[in-house]
A = this chain, B = another copy of it.
Amino acid sequence: MARASLTGVSAAKEPNPARRSQRSRRAVLEAARELVLEVGYAKLTIEAIAARAGVGKQTIYRWWRSKGAVVFDAFLALSRGGEEEPIALPDTGDIEADLKTVMRATVAEFADPRFEAPIRALTTEIINDPDLAAQYREKLAGPVDEAKKARLRSARDAGQIAVDADLDLALELLYGPLHQRWLHRSGPLTPEYADALVDLTLKALRP
């Protein structure tokens, strides 16, 4: 943010990240993760996170903008166990089979009760906070989407889907229906559903 250096108006002096306590940071993120599962996102409070983490409230306010930012960070840290190697989807040459593998896994994840609370928490936050939505796209969805698009590109090169296919749109076609069904709880999330989505999408993208 570095407001001071940019504007010269600074009132709130910036904390020095070099001196940040990693112990506290980790305790906060872990407490946030636990509490989202225990009480749900809506009933999650900064106060409870601080207490559970054994951390002063100020420490949280010092390093995060909002409750949403903490939760976001918590699941960001979780989803990438720190690893940095690029994500890659299976590529057997058979785009249909590969996509079904991936979509079945995704559907299973969405149907898993243990993912329920955190994903809903994240989604709630993203809806109303454009900043977090941007971060989400950049840090979480982005890399994954890139991997998916890479696989689609490879299929396009292999002539399995139309050369002029809009890959962003293709992803939306795959994941949008699933996301909506999950969000509105408007139907079952089964492997068959995953397969059907892949079939339809591939038919739509056919050359």
Interface residues of A, Cβ cutoff 8 Å to B: 40-42, 120, 123-124, 126-128, 130, 133-134, 136-137, 141, 166, 168-169, 172-173, 175-181, 183-187, 196-197, 200-201, 203-206
* Residue contact B136 to A184, C-beta cutoff 8 Å: yes
| Across the A-B interface, the 8 shortest Cβ-Cβ residue pairs | A176-B176, A176-B177, A172-B177, A204-B204, A176-B180, A200-B204, A203-B204, A179-B180
Number of copies of this protein chain within its complex: 4
Taking A141-B186, A173-B173 as known contacts, 19 extra A-B pairs with beta carbons closer than 8 A to each other, sorted by chain A number, are A120-B127, A123-B127, A124-B128, A126-B184, A127-B183, A137-B184, A168-B186, A168-B187, A169-B196, A172-B180, A172-B181, A173-B204, A176-B178, A176-B179, A176-B181, A179-B179, A200-B204, A203-B203, A203-B206
Q: CB-CB < 8 A to A179: which residues of B?
A: 176, 179-180
* Residue contact B175 to A180, C-beta cutoff 8 Å: yes
The binding surface of chain A is classed by DSSP as helix
A-B contact pairs, 21 of them (CB 8 A): A40-B128, A41-B128, A42-B128, A120-B128, A124-B124, A126-B183, A130-B185, A133-B184, A136-B184, A168-B187, A169-B200, A172-B181, A173-B177, A176-B176, A176-B177, A176-B181, A179-B179, A180-B180, A200-B205, A203-B203, A203-B206
Q: Which of A169, A175, A200 has the most CB of B within 10 A?
A: A200
Given A173-B173, A176-B178, A179-B176, does the pair A127, B124 have CB atoms closer than 8 Å? yes
Q: CB-CB < 8 A to A185: which residues of B?
A: 130, 133-134, 137
